[in-house]
A = this chain, B = another copy of it.
Amino acid sequence: MTGEGAESRKPDKLPQRLLTAATRLFAEYGFEGTSVQKIVEAAGVTKGALYHYFDSKDDLLRDIYGRVLRMQAEQLEKFATTQSPVAERLRNAAADVVLTSIAHLDDTKIFFRSMHQLSADNQRAVRAARRRYHEGFRTLIEEGQAVGAFRTDVPADLFVDLFFGAVHHLSIWYRHDGTLSAERIGSHFADLLLTSLRPTG
């Protein structure tokens, strides 16, 4: 419909444009540091237009979280359910998490920084989804522990927290103009995770 060719002005429908603008601004200035006025200016409309599509500023954030959670679940599904050995599945999934997190760095930033701005209900929902997501990884690790591929003297949970801590942290230090490509970081992180999982002695 848009054809991304010559006609430039309205590449997206307004709700999408508003979400895009909000995502960028929330990532840069934080949720509370971003006024609705700034968002609508970035989208080139007035406040009324935003409130025509979204119930509130919180609603925007909710939608962003929903989008991220959906994407995370889809990606995990894709990598965790192949037929490869568990170590390989985990490595691929982990590398992909890094890649995807860097590809959507603004989402990643928002995800970890703005959770507490959600309503109590939405926070619960997001936490639950997040937990399921983490459990997807933990299950892989426990599977590897069960078959003797991974060490068992460290709780699987700790590996998950360690790894996702590192992923989260990407949104703080990663620069798109840096020297390390997303692929290399993903590869290294996945490698370090697998290394640290190797059975002891």
Stretch at the interface among A53-61, A73-81, A140-148, A158-166: A158-166
* A191→B158 CA distance, assembly (Å): 12
A84 within 8 A of B: no
Instruction: Known contacts A116-B29, A196-B195; decide if A189 and B162 are in contact (CB<8 Å).
Output: yes
Main secondary structure of the interface of A (DSSP, over half): helix
Contact of A180 among B155, B167, B196 (CB under 8 A): B155
Contact of A169 among B117, B154, B169 (CB under 8 A): B169
Within 8 A of B (CB), among A187-201: 188-189, 191-193, 195-196, 198, 200
Q: CB-CB < 8 A to A185: which residues of B? A: 158
Contact of A113 among B113, B154, B180, B193 (CB under 8 A): B113
Instruction: Known contacts A188-B154, A196-B192; decide if A30 and B116 are in contact (CB<8 Å).
Output: yes
Q: CB-CB < 8 A to A154: which residues of B? A: 188, 191-192
Q: CB-CB < 8 A to A163: which residues of B? A: 166
Question: 3 shortest A-B CB distances, which residue pairs?
Answer: A165-B169, A32-B32, A165-B166
Binding site for B on A (CB under 8 A): 29-30, 32-33, 112-113, 116-117, 154-155, 158-159, 161-170, 172-173, 180, 185, 188-189, 191-193, 195-196, 198, 200
